[in-house]
Chains A and B, each alone.
Chain A
């Protein structure tokens, strides 16, 4: 049943987001692993489209925030206004199940922090009052690494809040032709209908947590984490939170393939998106090159660290 639901979700997204089934699957993994997703790629490859498609596929509240440099924390969290002699709380867009934070690196660190804290704690404190965020809560942030004129790159330490960082990449020639052909298939045309309810998502999240992880797989995760820490090409290795995330993502990945147990292969497949943005490369490179370098390094590690069979 779980598999069916997930497959339905994936194919639903695939109706507007062609070709990149890996990226779509990983997006779904983020959702059911209770994580958040950072999509980082050059402009125009469909980062936002992917976010919207996922959000619209779930029958849940969805808000899109376009981040600009004059955005204030209260624009996200909400604020109380004086009304009828009392304070009335106006909830910000963050009080939605799915939040699409577009171009998150265009806003000031202050505003970024407001979002990131909320992502981590699953509640926000506004004017001394703690307000829980809806459950499920998923932030899909996008950022563009090419141009950082007038941007505020997310500090590497903060990136840890995202379960995964995804690259989408350019579509294959066939898929690109299809994009050209079906350009009228806009989202407005209602191509994406909700296929999951909030309770479905919760159920999937619960099931993902119950995916069995045997001892050898855990050992493998620990070995990988240690390898990042001892690599001389990395300034900073994977934190224990990172290792935990790797395990959670692998469990969710297994579930998307309809399994209730986790294989070393699952760990391998999610290793790059989960680990690459959490490590700091010892390099002068910046921008996309730096991202690629980190990913290549993680790929190297999964190609050297002994795997269980």
Chain B
């Protein structure tokens, strides 16, 4: 088991995703990191199973000589019950690829090896390797093989330099040596008459005898003590002697072979010589050097997958609201252009032409874009550029790997930045495409093997893989620890992933100044802003658990037509603990005693509720409160409030904060404690910017006949609620006038502003309050979960005698505009339900949710049977859907020519991933098809038969044949 390069990066990507997830608390990132983690686990486990039960058998030739290449056969058999996939039988640079090895089936590959040594050799580097399923791990099974290599032979016709003793040395060469005539010479009387060459003697008239190459004795003893060269000489001599029929005895320092002749004896001699001295120790025959693993296959299929994945990522990017759609639109023409250039590579820009553009993009990304558009935006720009570049230029293995990285990063961004309902769809598609891509990359990059189109052999494996990964990922998603970090790093993480500009207000959906059209952006954020736990004080229960609550942040009183802000300092005096106090620079400092701050204007013992606030990091000093705060417990040393009754800490909550308030029901603020409050109210809360007259007319019209300020307030509230529509994503920046008379729809700040300004026109003092509307109550954790999307703005009106009252003019059924039909509403409610579940269970899953889920799980243990049934049903459904999906993907065969049915058949099969190898004859191919797809055996065999008759027997198909051919072709569809 070895981690591949891809696996290494994959681990990196998982770590990055997990880091980003824990930094931002973004659950989609948790989901993605769960999937990555599950993929790693499944990949390791399945990869192991894939090669676990392979048995190997090596067939070596009978005779292997030192230094001489030989062929041997490696056959592996799959003893497991599951198919093994994408196996690479390899030795060094030589490799054979097995796409799929069915259970019980063998596969065979031939290798060539050259033993470097005499004697015992071990075959180095022979192994079965597989990076299936995703190429993250390389599992390999080393196959051990040993053999004895005989000494290298010389072409010898004599004994050479071998120490030998010839016995019974009658110089009679056997006739067997007769082929090896050395020459003729004059007859000598000692010569045997049988050696006389009669023909030549007759021709020349003088007696001539044949002389043979070697006068081998009948019995020869060879003595060898050692030394490579001597051993080779001895082996060559032994072969020559045995060839010439002599009896040979080989004597080594340790042993002797005894006398013998013939081939079997020669083998004995060779073996003894091979094992002499150093040869007895096994030595390694090195494998041929392996080419560097290219890793990524650049096949037509992976290129297709690159296009598809890029397109998906582009779609995902277009779902990010912060990203201008224009940029994505720019990318659309790149796809057909890239595809065109794929076919006409000569028209591509040379790589060098891209360099200046790439440099410019980098400089832009690092320098300008970062500051001007924010981290995310400029990163996305860069990604889109790289994607375009890669789509338009040559795609080698390296470029494809980069392409994959870019696609992953793109999808990572999509994950971090969208919470849209499209995301699950995108995720499913991304899993399928990226999974296919990784699997396809495991195929050998053979340029000659066109495996394009159709479902490849491993499509089923991919489906199984995804089916395995998903439950595991869901499990990982549920149990991955949620670090709700309050460190500044977390805030930065949020800023980078959840929002674009590192601008104070947008981080947590809370701002101390409000522009019109601001909340629409905030509403899309899923990041958590705070958690609020409310305990009713035992003696004064109010039973408000779980009801929506207004979490008051900052109040603002100055409005310039588009933006609310607060006066930097507004001096006033107030009574606290019986003493008159004075503001310092507009700040009214609150005294602290016994670890709690007591606010003026009410009796602390009136408090009905204790609220515990857990603030997530945000660059704001505001202390959020519920109702009328009486006391506040915090380790901080000092805090103050201002003329708008906003409570502040002295330092921003950069690292998050935890404090508790006790408050009484009501919204009167601290106004009762102020001295000369009327004066303050008149100077601060009644000013209006210059407005078109119709605004004033409208204000008058709404409040006509109402005398009491409270009635005016309610009239305005009711009017706005009933005549205007809430629109989360519409609106955008605009003016109050436009909202009131033209668009008539907007976010909460439009309603709050309208209420505040209209009321000011009719003499009711108002201010706008920003905060959160806590509605997401977690009954298990007993707390409100408050997210950026809960950010809210409302108005407060000052009613003489009652103090400040909340004026929330935002329509409460904000999702359903009045114009919707009932069907539309129902549909909307369904979508809303889905959306709610998506947001609550997936996007908003956290450590409390985790505990809650475990709690529920414990309860649901009884119902586990049902769940199992459901899963089985799902599996059955999947199984039923598979053939359907396959059918859907089946391509229409292109009609090449009317008579060319065989090529049409090949084409149709090719689209199913069944490609004829060029050495295969038609019948062999038909057999291969039958083995791979038994259901097609018959049509393919018949079509081959027809084709053979037409091509090799020159028999034109009859009309009946043609009809049958057409029907058979149809069956392959």
Contact = CB atoms under 8 A, between A and B. Distances in A.
Interface of A: 69, 108-109, 146-152, 212, 214, 216-217, 233, 259-265, 268, 283-289, 292-293, 296, 300, 302-309
A284 B110 contact: no
B952 A268 contact: no
Contact of B179 (A109, A148, A233): A109
A109 B176 CA distance: 9
Interface stretch (B78-86, B810-818, B826-834, B913-921): B913-921
A286 B947 CA distance: 44
B263 A284 contact: no
A166 to B, nearest CB: 20
Contact of A284 (B63, B242, B919): B63
Given A146-B263, A149-B245, A286-B63, A265 B953 contact: no
Contact of B65 (A284, A287, A302): A284
Interface in B939-959: 947-948, 951-954
Interface in B911-943: 916, 918-925
B953 A260 contact: yes
B920 A307 contact: yes
A296 B71 contact: yes
Contacts of A152: 176
Given A149-B263, A264-B921, A300-B110, A212 B61 contact: no
Contact of A150 (B63, B245, B906): B245
Interface in B169-185: 175-176, 178-179
Nearest to B243: A148
A108 B178 CA distance: 10
Given A109-B179, A152-B176, A283-B68, A309 B947 contact: yes
A304 B919 contact: yes
Contacts of A284: 63, 65, 68, 152-153
A212 B68 contact: no
A261 B921 contact: no
17 contacts: A69-B175, A148-B243, A149-B263, A261-B954, A262-B952, A263-B952, A264-B922, A265-B923, A265-B924, A284-B153, A285-B63, A288-B62, A293-B61, A293-B71, A302-B919, A304-B919, A308-B951
B756 to A, nearest CB: 84
Given A146-B264, A285-B63, A292-B61, 9 more contacts: A212-B952, A214-B952, A214-B954, A217-B952, A264-B922, A284-B152, A286-B63, A293-B61, A296-B71
Contact of A149 (B261, B906, B925, B947): B261
B916 to A, nearest CB: 7
A260 B948 CA distance: 12
B262 A149 contact: yes
B924 A148 contact: no
A3 to B, nearest CB: 15
A309 B61 CA distance: 33
B63 A309 contact: no
A108 B175 contact: yes
B262 A261 contact: no
Given A147-B262, A261-B952, A289-B61, A306 B918 contact: yes
A264 B954 CA distance: 14
Contacts of B152: 284
B902 interface: yes
B919 A147 contact: no
- Name, among B178, B921, B948, B951, the residue most crowded by chain A CB atoms within 10 Å (CB to CB): B921
B965 to A, nearest CB: 16
A276 to B, nearest CB: 14
Given A261-B952, A289-B63, A292-B61, A307 B921 contact: yes
A262 B954 CA distance: 11
B953 A261 contact: yes
A147 B918 CA distance: 41
Contacts of A289: 61-63
Interface string B45-74: 000000000000000011101001111000
Contact of B919 (A259, A288, A307): A307
B118 to A, nearest CB: 13
B199 to A, nearest CB: 13
Contacts of A287: 63, 263
Interface string B223-263: 00000000000000000001101000000000000000111
User: What 4 A-B pairs come out closest when comparing CB atoms?
Assistant: A261-B953, A149-B262, A289-B63, A306-B918
A113 to B, nearest CB: 12
A223 B906 CA distance: 23
Nearest to B947: A309
A265 B65 contact: no
Contacts of B243: 148
Contacts of A69: 175
Contact of A309 (B178, B179, B921): B921
B63 A109 contact: no
Contacts of B71: 293, 296
Contacts of B68: 283-284
Contacts of B922: 263-265, 309
Contacts of B69: 233
A168 B920 CA distance: 26
Contacts of B262: 147-149
Contacts of B951: 214, 216, 308
B231 to A, nearest CB: 15
Contacts of A260: 953
Given A109-B179, A148-B262, A212 B954 contact: yes
Contacts of B70: 283
A2 B176 CA distance: 46
A146 B265 CA distance: 11
Nearest to B955: A261
A309 B245 CA distance: 51
- Name, among A216, A284, A308, the residue most crowded by chain B CB atoms within 10 Å (CB to CB): A284
B263 A148 contact: yes
Contacts of A288: 62
A69 B918 CA distance: 49
B147 to A, nearest CB: 13
B424 to A, nearest CB: 47
A214 B176 CA distance: 47
A302 to B, nearest CB: 7
Nearest to B903: A309
A264 B261 CA distance: 46
B111 to A, nearest CB: 12
A284 B235 CA distance: 12
A309 B919 contact: no
A297 to B, nearest CB: 8
B597 to A, nearest CB: 89
B945 to A, nearest CB: 10
Contacts of A306: 918-919
A263 B919 contact: no
A44 B924 CA distance: 34
A151 B242 CA distance: 11
Contacts of A264: 921-922, 952
A300 B108 CA distance: 13
A302 B176 CA distance: 37
Nearest to A69: B175
Interface in B290-349: none
Interface string B376-398: 00000000000000000000000
